[in-house]
Amino acid sequence: MTNPPTATVTPTQTILRVPMPIPRTTNAPYFNGKYLADFLTILAQHGANAGITDLDDLVPYIVQYSSDEVKDLIRYMTEFDPDESGKTWSAAKVQLRLLYGQADEPPSYTEEMLQDFCQKQSAKSPFKNKKQIETYHKDFMHLGGPLVK
- The answer as to whether 16 is a domain residue is no
- The answer as to whether 5 is a domain residue is no
- The 10s digit of each residue's pLDDT in 59-104 is 999 999 999 999 999 999 999 999 999 999 999 999 999 999 887 7
- The answer as to whether 125 is a domain residue is yes
| 98 & 116 share domain | no
Whole-number Å distance between alpha carbons of 17 and 96: 28
Helix, strand or coil, per DSSP, at residue 94: helix
Instruction: Report which residue type is found at 128.
Output: K
Is it the case that residue 3 has pLDDT exceeding 80?
no
pLDDT computed for residue 28 by the predictor: 96
| 43 & 62 share domain | yes
* 79 close to 42: Cβ distance less than 8 angstroms: no
Q: Which residues pair with 66 in a beta bridge?
A: 31
Number of domain units in the chain: 2
How far is C-alpha 124 from the chain's CA centre? 38
Whole-number Å distance between alpha carbons of 91 and 56: 9
- The answer as to whether 12 is a domain residue is no
Whole-number Å distance between alpha carbons of 18 and 16: 6
| 131 & 71 share domain | no
| 40 & 97 share domain | yes
pLDDT computed for residue 91 by the predictor: 97
The range of the structural domain enclosing residue 61 comes to 36-104
pTM over 0.95: no
pLDDT computed for residue 2 by the predictor: 66
- The answer as to whether 2 is a domain residue is no
pLDDT computed for residue 7 by the predictor: 66
- The answer as to whether 126 is a domain residue is yes
Q: How far is CA 11 from CA 6, 14, 17, 66, 128, in A?
A: 16, 10, 19, 41, 63
Q: Which residues pair with 31 in a beta bridge?
A: 66
pLDDT computed for residue 105 by the predictor: 73
Instruction: Report which residue type is found at 35.
Output: Y
pLDDT computed for residue 4 by the predictor: 67
Whole-number Å distance between alpha carbons of 45 and 141: 31
| 82 & 119 share domain | no
- The 10s digit of each residue's pLDDT in 4-53 is 666 677 777 777 788 999 999 999 999 999 999 999 999 999 999 999 99
DSSP notation for 47-77: HHHTT---GGGGHHHHHHTB-HHHHHHHTTS
- The answer as to whether 87 is a domain residue is yes
Q: How far apart are the first and last CA of the chain?
A: 75
| 52 & 67 share domain | yes
- The answer as to whether 10 is a domain residue is no
Confidence category of residue 54, pLDDT binned at 50, 70, 90: very high
* 58 close to 45: Cβ distance less than 8 angstroms: no
